Structure 1
């Protein structure tokens, strides 16, 4: 169920920070967005929205992303 009110600004800032950490880990692992999305599996466009901080990811999705990249979840959300 979608939220009736948008999240506070600090949540949006933190979401973008997590997206940046996901991107950095992916690039360090020498993976493309397409490769990570395929490993999850997830639509590439949906993955890009998470990496850009435009979409909120469920915990399950963050766990899958961390596994696909080969890093602990704490590296993505620290």
Structure 2
């Protein structure tokens, strides 16, 4: 079980991942809806990842990386 509350660095890195997703999406010239369609996920999921309001599922990050044609490492590098 994760510690509760989470250490400060966890939400900070989650925000960094969201920033990386947003930057890659923007470079690809896609809206959140466009990325969601390519990745086969809900636009709200993309928004939640970019805004860091929820912890992203690995499956969602894998789908996003594939849809953007970027390595997963580029999205999770902090």
Q: Residues 37 and 44 of structure 1 are in contact (CA less than 8 Å); yes or no, is this contact kept in structure 2?
A: yes
Superposition pairs for residues 1-78 of structure 1, below 5 Å? 5-78=4-77
Aligned length: 76
Q: Which runs of 4+ in 1 moved over 4 A?
A: none
> 1:58 deviation in Å?
1.4
Unaligned runs of 5+ in 2: none
RMSD: 1.5
* Structure 1: segments with no counterpart, 5+ residues: none
Q: TM-score, normalised by structure 2?
A: 0.86
TM-score normalised by the chain length of structure 1: 0.86
